[in-house]
Amino acid sequence: MRKIILSTESGADLPDDLANDFKIKVVPMHIIKDGKDYLDGSLPVKNIFDYYKATKKIPSTTATNVHEYEEFFAKIKEENPECTIVHIGYTSKASSSFQNACTAAEEFKEILLIDALNVTGGLTAVVMYAAELLDKDPLIEPDRLVKLIESVIPKSKLSFIPGSLDFLKAGGRVSNVAYLGGALLKIKPCIELIDGKLVSTKKYRGKMSEVAEKLMRDYLEKYNLDKEVLYLMYSLGLEDRIKQRVQEIAEEHEFKKIKWIQAGAMISTHSGPGGFGIAGIEV
């Protein structure tokens, strides 16, 4: 029976402890700042936020390219010659990274690719579902594992509120009119993954402390979630008291595990400082 190796992209924001404990391989995406290319993880998030304060510009992001995937897969194969790689990728609806992985995989045997149609904590939820299955049954057939992972993808639910309309405006993701109206009315958009696409589904009004709690309660009421684990996401700058309050709400709903995920540099260029999100899997 061949060994199965799981892999994903840095856009999953998979915490290091989980990646290490479950031996999940992570390939970095890219941040471009002042014409210089940084691998996701090599550029501190604070640097991105400080750069915006100084210049009113945000870096851009790019996908992992085909050559990088070839090197990534080749190294895994070199270290584990008889393995099957199951790669769980960042949504193809928002990045070319997954297609690049598919192109690179054509050069190898025993690589199975899955488009998770999700990002950050929603992608982590799918990856960790796969990791837990593999941990419980290391001899599972690769095709069987893939089918189980694919069955849970529609059940992985992600909702988040960007911390800054300034970042959305600077990145060209919101018009000046929408920006001015949102800023004046203190409106914060809720972003959800629907069929792999980032969609603004609801608008909240008020301070982040109020909005985060509203989002938390709306999300937990909307979805019938597996109580095994809930993922709570934040970008640098979210106040500790907000994190404490949403943690309390999660505990009130009796989740067995509550895992906090900090947005990395790639995701933070889109969300801005002080963002908050939730991810889990429906039963």
| DSSP codes, the chain | -PPEEEEEEGGG---HHHHHHTT-EEE--EEEETTEEEETTTS-HHHHHHHHHHHS---EEEPPPHHHHHHHHHHHHHHSTT-EEEEEEPPTTT-SHHHHHHHHHTTSSSEEEEE----HHHHHHHHHHHHHHHHH-TT--HHHHHHHHHHHGGGEEEEEE-S-HHHHHHTTSS-HHHHHHHHHHTEEEEEEEETTEEEEEEEEES-HHHHHHHHHHHHHHH--B-TTEEEEEE-TT--HHHHHHHHHHHHHTT-SEEEEEE--HHHHHHH-TT-EEEEEEB-
pLDDT surpasses 80 at 176: no
pLDDT band at 175 (very low <50, low <70, confident <90, very high): very low
pLDDT at 189: 85
Which pLDDT tens digit goes with each residue over 3-46? Answer: 999 999 999 999 999 999 999 999 999 999 999 999 999 999 99
**Residues forming beta bridges with residue 230, ordered by sequence position:** 258
Which pLDDT tens digit goes with each residue over 143-159? Answer: 999 999 999 999 999 99
Average confidence (pLDDT) over 74-97: 96
pLDDT surpasses 90 at 142: yes
pLDDT at 58: 87
Average confidence (pLDDT) over 202-212: 91
Which pLDDT tens digit goes with each residue over 59-70? Answer: 989 999 999 999
Calculate the alpha carbon distances from 48 to 33, 119, 201, 255 in Å. Answer: 8, 20, 27, 34
pLDDT at 200: 82
pLDDT band at 275 (very low <50, low <70, confident <90, very high): very high
Tokens of 51: 């750069």
Tokens of 226: 């597996």
pLDDT at 180: 40
Delimiting residues of CATH 3.40.50.10170 domain(s) in the chain: 4-31+62-151
Given a contact cutoff of 8 angstroms between Cβ atoms, the answer to whether 262 and 235 are in contact is yes
Given a contact cutoff of 8 angstroms between Cβ atoms, the answer to whether 153 and 114 are in contact is yes
Output 187 or 98, whichever has higher pLDDT. Answer: 98
pLDDT at 56: 86
Nearest C-alpha neighbor of 13 from the set 31, 28, 32, 33: 28
Average confidence (pLDDT) over 243-267: 97
Average confidence (pLDDT) over 80-89: 96
Which pLDDT tens digit goes with each residue over 213-238? Answer: 999 999 999 999 999 999 999 999 99
Side chain identity at 116, as an amino acid letter?
A
pLDDT at 98: 97
pLDDT surpasses 60 at 182: no
Delimiting residues of CATH 3.30.1180.10 domain(s) in the chain: 156-281
CATH class (in words) of the domain with range 4-31+62-151? alpha beta
pLDDT surpasses 90 at 278: yes
Contacts of 58 (CB under 8 A, 6+ apart): 48, 51, 52, 167, 170, 171, 269
Output 134 or 182, whichever has higher pLDDT. Answer: 134
pLDDT at 179: 39
Average confidence (pLDDT) over 117-144: 97
pLDDT surpasses 70 at 168: no
pLDDT at 169: 59
* CATH of the domain spanning 156-281: 3.30.1180.10
Which pLDDT tens digit goes with each residue over 259-269? Answer: 999 999 999 99
Given a contact cutoff of 8 angstroms between Cβ atoms, the answer to whether 110 and 85 are in contact is yes
